[in-house]
Amino acid sequence: MPSTMRKPFNYLETAAVQAAMKRARTGQAGQVGPDPALHSEDAELRWVEAVLRHRLSLHSLDRPVGIRAQNDDTHPLVANGRHFPAVALTIPFADRTLDFLATYNDRGRLTFDVIAPCAQCGKPVPTEEINSLEDLGDYLLQARDTLGGSPRLRTSPAHATDCLARGN
């Protein structure tokens, strides 16, 4: 196989690309309903994983998708004035893994960002907000007209201290 060709998409990648293409054709995103409720603070990692599964409609796929969740001590997670570590999630794909960071946005809603190298300093930072299967498909396709970036890119403490992409 020539080095310029990617390995074939796996079933999650295929579903995400198909969802993105459907949204591009119809202008309508899939409806997933409200996020699962948090039943206990002890289950924060499982809850964040459940929300990501819900937002990406992983329950609708034919095969299970493995997700690993762990605390991310680099990025703060602030909810209702309380500080927690953010949650790092990893999803395996056919030829790589995709890393996500779960944090709250300025409206107190849990958001998911793809973690990728910063274009300026190369450090792993939140680069693209992904909150639906369609968003994931757009990211995989690198559909520049629909990607909006992550509002948390400039505020990530993971940047090198002299990185120009880091906000002041």
Give pLDDT, residue 91: 87
Report in angstroms the alpha-carbon separations of 60 from 14, 41, 79, 93, 131.
13, 27, 30, 17, 16
Q: Which pair of structure tokens corresponds to residue 78?
A: 């602030």
Provide the whole-model pTM: 0.74
Phi, psi for residue 89 in degrees, rounded to 5: -125, 145
Helix ranges, 56-162 (H) = 133-141
pLDDT in tens, the chain (168 residues): 343 444 445 777 888 888 888 888 888 877 777 676 665 555 677 888 888 888 888 877 767 788 888 888 787 665 556 666 688 898 887 678 889 998 877 777 788 999 999 999 999 999 999 989 899 999 988 876 767 788 888 888 889 999 998 875
Q: Whole-angstrom Cα distance, residue 72 to residue 168? A: 22
| Mean pLDDT for all residues in the chain | 79
Give the amino acid at 21. Answer: M
